[in-house]
Chains A and B, each alone.
Chain A
Amino acid sequence: MAAPSVSVCVEAAIENPIQEVRYDGQEIHVTPLSMSENLSKLAHKINFFKDESEEKGKPTSEGERETDEEKVLAPFQPSLWPWDSVRNKLKSALTEISVLYDVLNIVKEKHYMVTDPVSQEAPELKAPLQMIAKKKSLVIVCKILNTGADRLKDIQAEMGSNTPDNFLWELLQLRKHWRLKKVQNTILGELSYKSAGSRFWQGGTFEVLKMSDLAAEGEATNKKSSLDVSIPSELEGVAYIQVEVKSVPDLMDLTSATLKMPASLGAVPPDAYWQQKLETAHNVLFCKELFAQLAREAVQVKGTTPHMVVGNQILTNVFPGIQLSIVLCHYTGKEKKVNLSPPKLDHNHVLEHSLHQLLRKEHSNNLNTSPPHPANAMLGMSKRRRLAGPQAHSRQDLIQMAHSESMLVQILKQTKHAVLRLRSMHVIDQLASSLQDPLICAHWSCLNNSLESSVRVSITSYCYETNRTPLILIIGIDTIRVVVREGRTCVLSFEENELRDFLQWQICQHHVQSVQSLAKLHGWQVLSATVSSGHGDIEPYGTTATVMLASPKGNIRNDITYDPVDKALMFHLQTAWRRAKIPSTHTHNMSENKQTVSAHSKCKQQIAAIQENANKRPVHELWDSSSHGLSGANAPKRPKH
């Protein structure tokens, strides 16, 4: 292929690296090594290693080598100058390695030599020096412990001592809890509730005394503090308010109130801590105020119920036969010990607590007037009263707003509710435990207050819980409101019997209702169901419920009446003068006041039996137009089946 010839220039790459490029562009190459130099450079790169098999012949081989090398070196002495370093290095490496090898052999083989640890010389034990050192360290430790112990001792001493510093410290503690003021030389404190809103005439001022230091340590009395308080005489002792609700058989018992002797309550020992003394006196004042207010209200009452205030006792009738007594028991320790068997204390703690709360509420109402607090208008009006003007409330509304209840009335209401609630509980529980046939279940609501509670009573039959009669009783202050299943409400009074009668009536209704549902299950047709039927005698309470059933074949009619008073479940079978054939046990039923074990199941059995009987007889014999039975209605003509 002879193309027009292109000159191709083949050049070797630059073999010598450029050492320097001068400023004028001249390149200076590194001078290439001569042959001998190159060789020595390569020889330097060789890695000589020792061969293990030549151990014995080592020295000789080394010598040989040496001689060899020397031989080699001798004639080429000047030109082998670069090898000298190599040779030296090799020699030293060999020496090192042979030594290492020897050592290893000795350690491993233990043929001719063994390695033995070199025992070191024990350091010199200088006993005195050691003792001194230990002593010094112990002294330091002792010093630290001593300072700590000293500090604790000081604190302990401070706590127990009756120094003037202690008095000040106690005074500081006293000031944290009570209001103190300095009058000339004495320090007086305030025990009354005036700063909390009380308007009681009696104030309590106590005096703070400094106990002089009892130097003699042999003194038996061990004063715990250097501060003592002296309580005014009328607040000495221990007091409490006892509220009791008891049933009295006689209404006239109000006049037979006896002065109650407080039970043996420990008096405050004279060397009690000042805080305890002050707190007890504070409580005495509170109880006194509470009782004074209640007594004042009891005397000023203009209502119908009279209250009796005798000495330290207030008696009032809650319900006929139930009495509420509020006693102020103040035991000062100065009464002569009368060996009366202490009457069984029946505190009603809930009401006592309520009384305390009521008084505290009054106190706080005295202080905390509701906002706004105008400069020109009256303080203490509720928001509603303040808005009465702009909203143009009538006189009636204003009168109602101004009406407020006294403490006695409030506690009386609470007592009434408590009594009523207990009574209702008792009635329901009694009924529930005495009756097995319909099961009565009461669920008391947890949301209640001191004036209202509610309970949900459900009457069910055993195994037929879907058929349930629910009742809701809302227990108020002196009435009970009942909400029946259909939503009707009745209001019952506080009489126990009324509630019992009402529940009995509901039970009757429930029975008839369950018979009705049971009959439906069996295929009986319900002709009519009346809650309050008119036939029969008038009962003193409740109404008779009736249900009229017809058998599936239409040949038997069954009227079931449940009379709540006599609890008689009578049913009249209208089977046209075959009644005698039907066993008497079926018709004569529960005319006594005893409840049967399970009227319901008996009913069921009887219905079944009647059906059986009916199935056995020819129809035309059973049916007759002249009807028997008390229903009085003419039997409707049915076609023969």
Chain B
Amino acid sequence: MGVSCVFSYPVPEGLSGAQVVEVLQKQVETLGGIKAGTFLVDCETYQSVMLNTPKTLHILHNSEHPASCFAILDSGATLVADTLFNGLMSNLKNYYQARKGAKIESKGQRFQLSDFVLKIGSVSLAGSMKGVLVEVEYCPSVIAGDCWNLLKELLQSLKINVADPPRSLKPKMDEIYTPAVTMLQYLDHFNSFRTAAAMSQPPR
């Protein structure tokens, strides 16, 4: 179990997402990364139907943890469960209904660079490409605060300049890192992509 940070790589104007991904991949390969399969992180959103204040529930899956299913509420509470949880959601369809067209996923190549695992994923919402997410994982460490600088350095070599750790990682810098925190980071990014997509659409 290592520490992962997820960053959004801004797609410059004029370049398509795929090209950006390719560039990043080349950079990783020049660094010495070896292709080690693909990865997929997806998120589905459910809305509660009965309550006055609608509650949102996000269900995430990560190919790195194939036996698990992550459920995150708006408040940030996370639940790590077995994949049978998906079946449970179908039983709860009277209370939580899936939001249509809200399925978002990040898919791409996985690279192994000695102790690091780099994942370059293209984010797609309802079939259309929205952005690029880069996840860096440093396997030996379990405390984010200890290896944050190392990750920053690695990202700099990939020409990604970050000043601060991701928003959802900041409060957890001194705790033992769990996969749920990765999913929180992903969710943050997914939400921002969603809001960006919603804003870009002209209101009807």
Contact = CB atoms under 8 A, between A and B. Distances in A.
Contacts of A393: 65, 67-68
A32 interface: no
B65 A394 contact: yes
A20 B195 CA distance: 131
A395 B69 contact: no
B191 interface: no
A47 interface: no
A472 B94 CA distance: 67
A389 B68 contact: yes
B178 interface: yes
Contacts of A540: none
Interface string A357-388: 00000000000000000001100000001101
Contact of B65 (A385, A386, A392): A392
A392 B65 CA distance: 6
B33 interface: no
B66 A395 contact: yes
A389 B69 contact: yes
A21 to B, nearest CB: 108
A394 to B, nearest CB: 6
B66 A390 contact: no
A390 B84 contact: no
Nearest to B83: A389
Contacts of B70: 392
B80 A390 contact: yes
B1 interface: yes
Given A376-B87, A389-B69, A394 B80 contact: no
Contact of A391 (B69, B80, B84, B87): B80
B64 interface: yes
B83 A392 contact: no
B111 to A, nearest CB: 15
A72 interface: no
A33 B131 CA distance: 149
A350 interface: no
Given A376-B87, A398-B66, A398-B67, A392 B82 contact: no
B178 A392 contact: yes
A394 B81 contact: no
A392 B80 contact: yes
A377 B84 contact: yes
B145 interface: no
A393 to B, nearest CB: 6
Contacts of A392: 65, 67-68, 70, 80, 178-180
Interface string B81-112: 11110010000000000000000000000000
A388 B80 CA distance: 10
A376 B84 contact: yes
A390 B68 contact: yes
Interface of A is mostly: loop
Contacts of B80: 389-392
A394 B69 contact: no
B87 A394 contact: no
A12 B10 CA distance: 146
A386 B68 contact: no
A390 B82 contact: yes
Contacts of B82: 377, 386, 388-390
Nearest to A386: B82
B68 A395 contact: no
A385 to B, nearest CB: 8
Contacts of B66: 395, 398
Contacts of A390: 68, 80-82
A165 B171 CA distance: 85
B154 to A, nearest CB: 20
B98 to A, nearest CB: 20
Interface string B46-89: 00000000000000000111111110000000001111100100
Nearest to B182: A392
A393 B66 CA distance: 8
Nearest to A378: B84
Contacts of B180: 392
Contacts of B67: 385, 388-389, 392-393, 398
Contacts of A376: 84, 87
A398 B66 CA distance: 9
Contacts of B179: 392
A392 B67 CA distance: 7
B65 to A, nearest CB: 5
Contacts of B68: 388-393
A389 B178 CA distance: 13
Nearest to B70: A392
B83 A394 contact: no
A618 to B, nearest CB: 70
Of residues A377, A389, A391, A398, which shows the largest number of chain B Cβ atoms within 10 Å of its Cβ? A389
A594 to B, nearest CB: 55
Nearest to A388: B67
Interface string A316-334: 0000000000000000000
B17 to A, nearest CB: 26
A392 B68 CA distance: 6
Nearest to B139: A394
Interface string A191-225: 00000000000000000000000000000000000
B145 to A, nearest CB: 21
Contacts of A398: 66-67
A386 B68 CA distance: 10
Of residues B65, B84, B180, which shows the largest number of chain A Cβ atoms within 10 Å of its Cβ? B65
A50 B162 CA distance: 147
Interface string B159-188: 000000000000000000011100000000
A395 B64 contact: yes
B64 A389 contact: no
B188 to A, nearest CB: 18
Contacts of A391: 68, 80
Nearest to A387: B82
5 contacts: A389-B68, A389-B84, A390-B80, A392-B80, A392-B180
Given A390-B82, A395-B65, 19 more contacts: A376-B84, A377-B82, A385-B67, A388-B68, A389-B68, A389-B81, A389-B82, A389-B83, A390-B80, A391-B68, A392-B65, A392-B67, A392-B68, A392-B178, A393-B68, A394-B65, A395-B64, A398-B66, A398-B67
5 nearest CB pairs, A to B: A389-B82, A392-B179, A389-B67, A388-B67, A392-B65
